[in-house]
Amino acid sequence: TTASKVLAGVGALLLLVSGILFVVAAVTGNSAVSIEFAHSNSASFTVSVATSQTRHCGFGLYAAATDNCNDVATRTDVTDPNGNSVYLFRDCSSAADGWMRDNDPPLQKVGHFLIPSTGGVSLAGHYRVSSGSGRPLWAVDACQQLGEAVTGILAAMGIFVCAIVALIIALILFCVSCCCMSSKTEVQTIVIQGQQQPGVVGQPVSVVCT
């Protein structure tokens, strides 16, 4: 029937939409764990903390996976905008995350440093990072990384939920469409039993067979 065809068409469209949404959710989730470096592949560089960032999470430092992590960490110095030394927390024993293994070249975490604060406000300005070993380093803004990851994951979850809803509605429409196609109108036939009616000579006789 026309109604069943319309329902099936809408269901197919929603099924296509749900498939697209699943793909978008997967892409969004993957982009949530992608890393944007504050600085990359340099033995000496500066990273900045804006005055608007009253509370900063600090920076993570990474080196090539083939480098001697302990040697790089020991010979890496960080100074704040005032020229004071900033303590580097070593983290050579941590396992490499997926993005670190997928990077070109693959990376390992050397450590991280926190931003000093006064009265609860982070010290804004340029922080200089120097690799005494001469090996290049990569820096990641911890606050930015965390914020982008949370935002991306929440967005992916929202799109995934929409895809599930579209899929459920599509399946319901398909079921209703099938029910409409299989339904048939029952016709009731009434048979009247009786004797042959007498006819008139010269006229056609109507006979009801039982």
CATH code of the region 37-141: 2.60.120
Amino acid identity at 75: R
Q: In the prediction, which pLDDT does 149 show?
A: 57
Q: 8 Cβ partners below 8 Å, 6+ apart? A: 173, 174, 177
Largest Cα–Cα separation, the chain: 131
Judging by DSSP bridges, how do beta strands 117-118 and 121-122 pair with one another?
Answer: antiparallel
Query: One digit per residue, pLDDT tens: the chain, 210 residues?
Result: 677 777 777 778 877 887 887 777 776 656 556 678 888 899 999 999 988 777 788 999 999 999 999 999 999 999 999 999 999 999 998 888 778 888 889 999 999 999 998 877 889 999 999 998 889 999 998 876 655 555 666 666 777 788 888 888 878 877 877 776 665 444 445 555 555 555 545 555 444 444
Classify residue 190 by its DSSP letter: -
Helices assigned H by DSSP within 36-110: 69-74, 98-102
Backbone angles phi, psi at 3, to 5 degrees: -60, -45
Helices assigned H by DSSP within the chain: 2-32, 69-74, 98-102, 142-182
Q: Determine contact, residues 77/133, Cβ cutoff 8 Å.
A: no
Up-side HSE of residue 143: CA atoms within 13 Å toward CB?
13
Amino acid identity at 140: V
**Burial class of residue 146 (count of CB atoms within 10 Å of its CB; 0-12, 13-18, 19+):** exposed
Q: In the prediction, which pLDDT does 172 show?
A: 84
What are the structural domain ranges in the chain?
A: 1-31+152-182, 37-141
Q: Determine contact, residues 49/170, Cβ cutoff 8 Å.
A: no
Q: In the prediction, which pLDDT does 184 show?
A: 47
3-class DSSP state of 76: strand
Up-side HSE of residue 9: CA atoms within 13 Å toward CB?
6
What are 102-141's pLDDT values in tens digits?
888 999 999 999 999 887 788 999 999 999 888 999 999 8
